[in-house]
Amino acid sequence: MSELFPGFIAQTVPTEDGIHIQTRVGGDGPPLLLLHGHPQTHALWHKVTPTLARHFTVVLADLRGYGDSSKPTGLPDHENYSKRVMARDMLRVMQALGHSRFRVMAHDRGARVAHRLAADHGDAVERLVLLDIAPTLAMYEQTSEAFARAYWHWFFLIQPAPLPERFLLADPDAYVREVMGRRNAGLAPFDPRALAEYIRCARLPETAHGVCEDYRASAGIDLVHDREDRDRGHRLAMPLLALWGEQGVVQRCFDPLAEWQRVAQQVQGHALPCGHYIAEEAPDELLAAALPFLLKDAA
């Protein structure tokens, strides 16, 4: 996959309890962490990293449970796949790479990890860009029939093990192609090399369990943590830019800007002319919106 990220160096970073996070680092400047979503890996950023690397030291990371990162067996309460633990992975990655403070841009599941990273470690996160999500708690509490039909995998993947794992393992290629290809743009936006990487990682024996545990945690322990934040009035303090696809489910079923304004103090955002996979469907539009925000006050 190195051809997607020329000049970037791949390295595996240990975090805790034997967990290793796969990373790829390149560029020069203040540190910027990029986190991917489901069912993808850090390969999704390949269209925007050439520009970002001219301004930032870019750190790409595979989430716990995804890509070539560790995929531990889930605990009974799924705590080891909570966004709190996954966020701590990323904090330790950045610290291991010498970055005590950094900026974050994240998509989908990675954006949920980034939300918790900013909530739990606000002193480390300087600026935050979140792509095509509303807060997890808001999305579960406002679930409608339209949302449940569109995001059916949210409710399938949380079923007790090993049922959903068996389905994913039966045909991982079809799972990736169907989940991604059924969105508004189909498979056309995806570079064949990136798509092949998503499929390669989906075939890894432990990936199905890691993916399911991520979703099980979001439907359980993550909601506990989010409600605790809400009950004590905790709101993110750093500047936050929310971007979403005007042709996507988040736009159709929620008011993402209003929802982020409920959990953060400094929020701006708008829709982009694309669907869910913003960095691959509309890379130029993403850069035009996110780069000035990320560069503001950069040392």
| C-alpha dihedral sign at 231, 233, 236, 241 | positive
Q: What angle do CA 68, 69, 72 make, to 5 degrees?
A: 125
Beta-carbon-side half-sphere exposure of residue 153 (alpha carbons within 13 Å)? 19
- Cross-strand partners of 236: 264
Q: For residues 181 and 178, what is the distance between their CA atoms, to the nearest angstrom?
A: 5
Here the tokens at position 137 are: 């708690």
Q: For residues 208 and 218, what is the distance between their CA atoms, to the nearest angstrom?
A: 16
Counts for the chain of helices (H) and strands (E), in that order: 15, 8
Active-site residue, 276 included: yes
| Catalytic position from the list 46, 209, 225, 276 | 276
Active-site residue, 173 included: no
Q: For residues 27 and 7, what is the distance between their CA atoms, to the nearest angstrom?
A: 8
Query: What secondary structure does DSSP assign to 225-273, as a single string?
Result: HHHHHHHTT--B-S-EEEEEETTSHHHHH--HHHHHHHHBSSEEEEEES
CB neighbour burial string for 93-122, b if at least 16 within 10 angstroms, e if fewer: bbeebebeebbbbbbbbbbbbbbbbbbbee
User: How does DSSP classify residue 134?
Assistant: -
| Catalytic position from the list 89, 108, 222, 226 | 108
Q: Could you list the active site residues? A: 108, 276
